[in-house]
Amino acid sequence: MPVSTNDLKNGMTLDLPEGLFTVVEFQHVKPGKGGAFVRTKLKNVRTGAVLDKTYRADEKLEQAIIDKREMQFLYRDGDDYVFMDSTSYEQIQVPRATLGDAANFLKEGNTVHLQLYGTDVIGIDLPAAVELAVAETEPGIQGDRVSGARKPATLETGLVVQVPLFVSPGELIRVDTRTGEYLTRA
143 and 181 together in one domain: yes
Picking from 14, 37, 62, the residue at the C-terminal end of a domain is: 62
Phi-psi label, residue 74: left if phi above 0, alpha if psi -120 to 50, beta otherwise: alpha
25 and 45 together in one domain: yes
As a whole number of angstroms, the distance between CA 100 and CA 115 comes to: 13
Lowest mean per-residue pLDDT among 73-77, 79-83, 90-94, 142-146:
142-146
pLDDT in tens, 3-55: 888 888 888 888 888 888 888 888 888 888 888 888 989 888 877 788 898 88
Radius of gyration of the chain from its Cα atoms, rounded to whole angstroms: 21
| pLDDT value at residue 22 | 85
92 and 42 together in one domain: no
As a whole number of angstroms, the distance between CA 154 and CA 138 comes to: 10
140 and 99 together in one domain: no
pLDDT in tens, 130-165: 888 888 888 766 655 666 778 888 888 888 888 888
114 and 151 together in one domain: no
7 and 55 together in one domain: yes
11 and 57 together in one domain: yes
pTM: 0.68
As a whole number of angstroms, the distance between CA 149 and CA 140 comes to: 10
What does each C-alpha distance from 96 to 6, 50, 79, 104, 120 come to in angstroms? Answer: 36, 21, 6, 10, 14
Count of domains forming the chain: 3
**CB 96 within 8 Å of CB 103:** yes
Contacts 24+ apart (CB under 8 A), 134-143: 134/163, 134/167, 134/168, 134/169, 134/170, 134/171, 134/172, 134/173, 135/169, 136/169, 137/163, 137/167, 137/168, 137/169, 139/168, 140/165, 140/166, 140/167, 140/168, 141/165
Picking from 100, 125, 150, the residue at the C-terminal end of a domain is: 125
| pLDDT value at residue 142 | 60
76 and 55 together in one domain: no
CATH number of domain containing 13: 2.30.30.30
Q: Give residue 179's domain range.
A: 129-185
86 and 42 together in one domain: no
What does each C-alpha distance from 45 to 13, 79, 116, 154, 184 come to in angstroms? Answer: 8, 20, 11, 29, 31
11 and 56 together in one domain: yes
CATH number of domain containing 176: 2.40.50.140
22 and 42 together in one domain: yes
pLDDT in tens, 103-124: 888 888 888 888 888 778 888 8
